[in-house]
Structure 1
Amino acid sequence: MTDLPTVFVLSGPNLNLLGTREPEIYGHDTLDDIHARLADQAAKLGLVVDCRQSNHEGVLIDWLHEAHHAGAKAVLLNAGGYTHTSIALHDAIKSIKVPVIEVHLSDPMTREPFRHTSYIGRAAAAHFAGHGADSYTLALDAAARL
């Protein structure tokens, strides 16, 4: 057990396929690669990351509630396709006290029009998108400054 502040890193549907899923859009880094870099960076920032991935909306909501009850410093959330569809995730973010930072590898605003709406973004404290895997590290830097 550690006394260091915890940042939850929650990844949604299909992000378990990073590295092989449309690498021209999402890059060649796997989610495990990203999590390893975040753990290293967190240690340098005096933080701990708790990294999780689920393809299920309700599980992501449960984890947001858990972050709240655990007193997490922040949540980095890449909700994947749920970004553009989930009012339930939006409501979960609005109902917790933990700041949520929206993260995307690609920039949804430069992609298909249906990706231009972000229900997550309407509730998030900050947004990092379009920087590939660095979107996560930029978001973690921001979380450390909260």
Structure 2
Amino acid sequence: MKKILMLHGVNANMFQFRNPEFYGSVTLDQVNARMQEEAKELGVSLECFQSNHAGDLVDKLHQAFFDQTDAVIINPGGFTNCDCGIKEALALLRVPVIEVHMANLFRKKNGSPQGTTTQVATAVLMGMQIDTYPLALRAAVMLADGKDGK
């Protein structure tokens, strides 16, 4: 069974309190439940993890490397633009990395998103609120099947 790791970065635990134009009113628990439903349908194992601390996410990425995780999905949140440690940990992986954002960063960042983590992602999905996540899981499985994500 394929192992997929889903990482949620800074402030993801506060989705329902953030700008509803970008995030809707969904909670992190609802996102994770939707992802687990999709994982079950796809026949994959999914671990979801959230932290507001970059080092915790780096530790999870290192563990994914040693556990031979088949793909990683990450919503780095505010770490997208400023955390080289997460970027370097993602770059260590030899599996597909799908970066997700519920908001369309091109709209949110006035047309010019600048993501350090995005530079090492295999693919980026954004702008479809909660629907971004199950689509990312499908993409991760598809790319992991090909084992040519990096």
TM over 0.5: yes
Partner of 1:79: 76
Residues 10, 52 of structure 2: 8 Å contact kept = yes
**Partner Cα separation in structure 2 for residue 114 and residue 86 of structure 1:** 21
Q: What are the ranges of 5 or more consecutive residues in structure 1 without an aligned counterpart?
A: none
Verify: 1:90 aligned to 2:87, yes or no. Answer: yes
Counterpart mapping for 1:24-39 below 5 A: 24-39=21-36
Partner of 2:148: none
Verify: 1:127 aligned to 2:127, yes or no. Answer: no
**Partner Cα separation in structure 2 for residue 38 and residue 60 of structure 1:** 19
Higher helix share: 2
Partner of 1:51: 48
Shifted more, 34-43 versus 92-101: the winner is 92-101
Cα deviation for residue 115 of structure 1 reads 6.7
SS in 1 for 2:17: coil
TM-score of the superposed pair, with normalisation by structure 1: 0.92
Residues 67, 98 of structure 1: 8 Å contact kept = no
Which residue, out of 135, 146, 149, partners 1:138? 135
**Partner Cα separation in structure 2 for residue 70 and residue 103 of structure 1:** 22
**Partner Cα separation in structure 2 for residue 70 and residue 7 of structure 1:** 11
What RMSD over aligned residues (CA atoms) do the two structures have, in Å?
1.4
The amino acid across from 1:12 in the alignment is: G
The amino acid across from 1:139 in the alignment is: A
**Partner Cα separation in structure 1 for residue 92 and residue 6 of structure 2:** 18
